[in-house]
A and B are shown apart, each in its own frame.
Chain A
Amino acid sequence: MALRRLVQRTLLNHSSSRLYPALGQSFSTDTSPSEPIRATLFPGDGIGPEIAESVKKVFNVAQIPIEWEEHFVGDKVDPRTESFLTWESLESVRRNRVGLKGPMATPIGKGHRSLNLTLRKELGLYANVRPCYSLPGYKTRYDNVNLVTIRENTEGEYSGLEHQVVRGVVESLKIITRQASLRVAEYAFHYAKANGRQRVSAIHKANIMRKTDGLFLKCCREVAEKYPEITYEEVIIDNCCMMLVRNPSLFDVLVMPNLYGDIISDLCAGLIGGLGLTPSCNIGEHGIALAEAVHGSAPDIAGKNLANPTALLLSSVMMLRHLNLNDKADQIHNAILNTISEGKYRTVDLGGSSSTTDFTKAVCDHL
């Protein structure tokens, strides 16, 4: 018994010693705004290059002190990373600590890892943050959405550990560790505090999966005690789904394990108009932030100047906030919102008829 407590305390000290000294720098990169900040850019495939151009243009006009390092996904597998992403690209992200990623189509085949998996494992991206808010001027059935979903990104149901026990019986393992749950809970509360959010809700199914989701909840409760000014509540996932579709304004910040996070974050994206409008940011160890557009690469409209750059633009705003360039971020954010709410320049998927370049120009004009 004493031995177990000793082991537990060692683990706790170990995990907290990894977090606390790095706390000052682990969540946001402090850099002086005068010298240009280097950021890695992965334009991606399909419509990726076009929307990356939009971002670069808007940043130019807004005079953001960012220097882009572009990396493309090659068509040869790099043996050092076992994927199409080269070691140099990954080193670049590790060095710069911020990046922006466009949509990447994973090539089919064997002998390499999927691109998203490579990025996640190599950069230690443990939290996926997706703010979902109703865009004024773009009417969906839900008008008052303003929530943020924070999803644990490394373990849970997506461990990939499955095997066939006997013919016709398959087992799949769901793994929850104290360390990963604490990490994502810490980030969630830090994010809530830094962005002025009042409430954090932990989403779980601990009435059925009592040990696994129970551990996740315990970790969230521990972290909640350190932030007494933020209200903390726990909601069972089926109730959460029901409440989200009836009244999304009930939620503020949601923190969840992997599978629930996947489903809920896509559900929330559906509430505000789809993946074409949703920004997203992945947070990794040592303060790495990789903002990305979560929609597909849309090969059918690639090269036709029809793509909607909103998702990538909003993700780049998230990246700027992570870099503490808040006033520039607000400037661009407001420009985008104003352009969409005016309604004159809208891309085809929002019901308008403007091209990518027209939309970009309109955003630049609004700056």
Chain B
Amino acid sequence: MMRRSSPTFRCLLRGATSGSSCEARRSVTYMPRPGDGSPRQVTLIPGDGIGPLVTGAVRQVMEAMHAPVFFETYEVHGDMTTVPTEVIESIRRNKVCLKGGLATPVGGGVSSLNVQLRKELDLYASLVHCFNLPGLPTRHENVDIVVIRENTEGEYSGLEHEVVPGVVESLKVMTKFCSERIAKYAFEYAYLNNRKKVTAVHKANIMKLADGLFLESCREVATKYPGIKYNEIIVDNCCMQLVSKPEQFDVMVTPNLYGNLVANTAAGIAGGTGVMPGGNVGQDHAVFEQGASAGNVGNEKLVEQKKANPVALLLSSSMMLRHLQFPSFADRLETAVKRVIAEGKYRTKDLGGSSMTEEVVDAVIANLD
């Protein structure tokens, strides 16, 4: 079996487990390294819109837990042309970052800062874990999907030009290198987290060369993991199946654009943007943010009335704690959040309640063991 032995990689993957038990728990142990347990510095980017509100919530909860994490805050806003160099330096130094959303102006001028950050740090995998939270009723049951999306190339290359007035071309670039590494990440993730099936999402019946290359890489990697089932599904059929029978999906690996759509659809059926955790993972760095729709920073009403939902960022920060190898803190945080949701008394508007962010945060702090 091919196994990556770098500890960062392994604990990144373990970090994304939801904490629920599975039948055959393989014992993945890690060797405590010197310096474990000592406080770690993490870059914090509050962002725009509801960003400062929810990152403030995370800060409060971390303090209440006395988590050995301290934040280095940097202001970045969506209308800046590039991410400032000191922020990138800080992330390279700390290796881990927690981020609120950065708004992207539509249609002109500045390129999306979220995308820039991912390209700069080569965060090649974007992970969104969509699952039903106990106590939160949704239309679909038994949803437990992890969407692993290639994060650097594909349709988001940003290579466009106007051929003649009125005709515009955009290039979608797919390389074997990137397709292979995302396929390897997906299968390794599935292997280490006891997942049974990996599904590749594509449109190779139309885009034969581009998505064909992606599928080829997935198939090659699949042969090295005989214990994990592998199948392929066309993206339009996939969306249809997600809406009618989501329990058939386990881990999904997709190129860039389809991954965006599939992740948002899966997040929507499992509870919404407000609750799904996610992260962007690279070889050396990791940036954790709310799972789906990182560019969605809410509207002004949410900011004024302070009714944004902090659950997504709280669950992402628990993923971050696992990544930093503080599993006990991560477990405490997750159990507290799940208890608050299951109780149902303090829920923000998108989950059907009417609480303010503060109230949810206080409830989480109160529920910490």
Contact = CB atoms under 8 A, between A and B. Distances in A.
Interface of A: 4, 7-8, 11, 140-142, 157-158, 160, 162-164, 167-179, 205-212, 214-215, 217, 234, 236-239, 241-246, 259, 262-267, 269-271, 274-275
Nearest to A258: B206
A210 B160 contact: yes
B115 to A, nearest CB: 7
A260 to B, nearest CB: 8
Contact of B208 (A142, A162, A174): A162
15 contacts: A141-B140, A162-B208, A169-B176, A173-B170, A173-B172, A207-B295, A208-B104, A209-B170, A215-B168, A241-B268, A262-B236, A266-B240, A267-B243, A269-B240, A274-B240
Nearest to A166: B175
B136 to A, nearest CB: 13
B304 interface: no
B107 A207 contact: yes
B78 to A, nearest CB: 10
Of the listed residues A205, A208, A237, the one surrounded by the most CB atoms of chain B closer than 10 A to its CB is A208
Given A209-B155, A210-B160, A162 B210 contact: yes
Top 5 closest A-B pairs, CB basis? A270-B240, A168-B176, A178-B166, A245-B268, A266-B236
B235 interface: yes
Given A207-B104, A238-B264, A174 B240 contact: no
A207 B170 contact: no
A270 to B, nearest CB: 3
A267 B265 contact: yes
B260 A238 contact: yes
Q: Interface size class for chain B?
A: 35 or more
Interface string B138-172: 01100000000000000110101110111111111
A274 B139 CA distance: 17
Nearest to B176: A168
B158 A175 contact: no
B112 A208 contact: yes
Interface string B224-249: 00000000000111011111100000
Contact of B166 (A8, A217, A238, A274): A8
B269 interface: yes
Given A238-B293, A270-B243, A162 B261 contact: no
Contacts of B168: 175-177, 211-212, 214-215
B5 to A, nearest CB: 26
Nearest to B78: A207
B311 to A, nearest CB: 16
Contact of A270 (B170, B208, B244): B244
Contacts of A173: 169-172
A263 B236 contact: yes
Nearest to A245: B268
Interface of B: 104-108, 112, 115, 139-140, 155-156, 158, 160-162, 164-177, 203, 206-210, 213, 235-237, 239-244, 257-258, 260-261, 263-265, 267-269, 272-273, 292-293, 295-296
A246 B165 contact: no
A253 to B, nearest CB: 19
Contacts of A243: 268
Contacts of A142: 139
Contacts of B162: 211
A168 B170 CA distance: 20
Given A11-B166, A217-B107, A263 B155 contact: no
A62 to B, nearest CB: 32
Given A174-B172, A209-B155, A244 B160 contact: no
Given A173-B170, A176-B167, 17 more contacts: A140-B244, A162-B209, A168-B177, A169-B173, A172-B209, A173-B169, A178-B167, A207-B106, A211-B161, A215-B168, A236-B295, A238-B261, A244-B265, A245-B243, A263-B236, A266-B240, A270-B243
B108 A170 contact: no
Contacts of A174: 155, 169-172
Contacts of A245: 243, 265, 268-269
Among A141, A246, A263, the most chain B Cβ lie within 10 Å of the Cβ of: A263
Contacts of B240: 266-267, 269-270, 274-275
Contacts of A175: 167-170
A263 B235 contact: yes
A179 B165 CA distance: 11
Contact of A170 (B174, B237, B265, B273): B174
A163 B107 CA distance: 28
Contact of B172 (A172, A234, A242, A266): A172
Nearest to B293: A238
Residue of A140, A210, A244, A267 with highest tally of chain B CB at under 10 A = A210
Contacts of B166: 8, 11, 177-179, 215
A246 B260 contact: no
A244 B242 CA distance: 12
A229 B177 CA distance: 51
B107 A210 contact: yes
Nearest to A246: B268
Nearest to A261: B236
A241 B206 contact: no
A149 to B, nearest CB: 12
Contacts of A140: 244
Contact of B106 (A11, A172, A206, A246): A206
Nearest to B211: A172
A177 B213 contact: no
A310 B360 CA distance: 48
Nearest to B294: A238
A207 B244 contact: no
A169 B175 contact: yes
Contacts of B206: 157-158, 160
Nearest to B271: A246
Interface-centre pick from A172, A234, A265 (highest chain B CB count, 10 A): A172
Contacts of A217: 107
A171 B155 CA distance: 10
B207 A242 contact: no
Nearest to A182: B166
A202 B184 CA distance: 37
